[in-house]
């Protein structure tokens, strides 16, 4: 059973795409913001989108393994569209709303008497973050399939 898992190209592609995507957030965040933020590796949002890289790697690996005309590839592609839309659309808008609500709360309660925690603002991804996640997923899938032929 464990040997089946470690030989499963879809699982390997998924895990590698997610882990590498999360790890890359740390040095890339430093390059763009000139500060070390270890927490970025364990949070949603940031460059690249590890959600997008994971689902892209899974979808492409399924297509390469099962065929792009298979029902399972069609299902994976549909799920990929939902995940990518959510990462760039819904969760991004929720983050923008959190930024604005935090600004309102800060302005309204400047006296310091109101001790409310701020909402998490980094929830979704910009289009560049999503595109980079998709590109990373493609790269990981192609590498895994090249290194582990049928």
Domain boundaries of the chain, sorted by first residue: 2-147
Residue (of 49, 51, 46, 20) closest to 122 by Cα position: 46
Question: Rounded to two decimals, what is the model's pTM?
Answer: 0.72
Residue with tokens 């800060």: 106
Taking residues 30-58, report their average pLDDT. Answer: 84
Place of tokens 């890359």: 24
Backbone angles phi, psi at 44, to 5 degrees: -80, 155
Read off the pLDDT of residues 13-23 as tens digits, 9 standing for 90 and up.
Answer: 999 999 999 99
Alpha helices in 1-87 (DSSP H): 2-6, 9-33, 50-66, 71-85
Return d(Cα 48, Cα 129) in angstroms, integer.
Answer: 5
Measured CA to CA in angstroms, residue 28 lies from 33, 50, 127 at distances of 8, 13, 16
Within 8 A by CB and 6+ apart from 143, the residues are none
Query: Averaged over 67-78, what is the pLDDT?
Result: 97
């Amino acid at each position: 059973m464990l040997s089946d898992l470690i030989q499963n190209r879809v699982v390997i592609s998924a895990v590698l795409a997610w882990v590498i995507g999360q790890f890359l957030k740390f040095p890339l965040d430093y390059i763009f913001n000139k500060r070390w933020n270890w927490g970025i590796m364990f949070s949603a949002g940031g460059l690249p989108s590890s959600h997008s890289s994971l689902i892209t790697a899974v979808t492409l690996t399924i297509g390469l393994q099962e065929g792009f005309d298979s029902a399972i590839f069609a299902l994976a592609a549909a799920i990929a569209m939902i995940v990518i839309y959510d990462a760039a659309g819904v969760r991004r808008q929720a983050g923008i709303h959190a930024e604005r609500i935090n600004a309102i709360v800060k302005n309204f309660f400047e006296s310091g008497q109101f001790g409310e925690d701020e909402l998490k603002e980094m929830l979704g991804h910009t289009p560049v973050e999503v595109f980079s996640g998709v590109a990373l997923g493609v790269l990981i899938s192609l590498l895994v399939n090249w290194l582990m032929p049928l």
